[in-house]
Amino acid sequence: MQVRVLVRLKPGVLDPQGRAVHHALEGLGFAGVEDVRIGRLIELDLAEGTDEATIRQMCEKLLANTVIESFTIEGAQ
């Protein structure tokens, strides 16, 4: 089964990379860009039936650092 984990910096955590990309978009002439935040997409190919609690543990133990990041799991059964 395919599961996607989206890892994002928590609101309020400075994202200098997102800020630089924001400035670059403005530099390219795109108007109306209010904010840019950059996260990480992790695709997991898991044995069928892997439960969401196990995937949450993977996220909390390694895939995300919950001090600074939040995560969402997509495609879990």
Partner 1 sequence: MAFRAAVITFPGSNCDRDMASAIEAVAGSPAIRVWHGDAELPDRLDLIALPGGFSYGDYLRSGAMAATSPIMRAVVAAAERGVPVLGVCNGFQVLTEARLLPGALLRNAGQRFVCRTVALTVENAASPFTAGYAAGETIRIPVAHHDGNYYADAETLDRLEGEGRVAFRYAEGCNGSARDIAGVLSANGRVLGMMPHPERAIEQAAVPSLGGADGRRLFESALASFATA
Please give the residue ranges that form the binding site for partner 1 (CB under 8 A): 13-14, 16-17, 20, 61-63, 65, 67-68
Q: 71, 8 in Cβ contact below 8 A? A: yes
Residue 28 vs 62, nearer CB to partner 1: 62
Closest distance between partner 1 and the C-beta of residue 16, in Å? 5
Distance CA 35, CA 53 (A): 33
Cα–Cα distances (Å) from 27 to 14, 15, 20, 56, in that order, read: 21, 18, 10, 39
Residue 14 vs 48, nearer CB to partner 1: 14
Closest distance between partner 1 and the C-beta of residue 7, in Å? 9
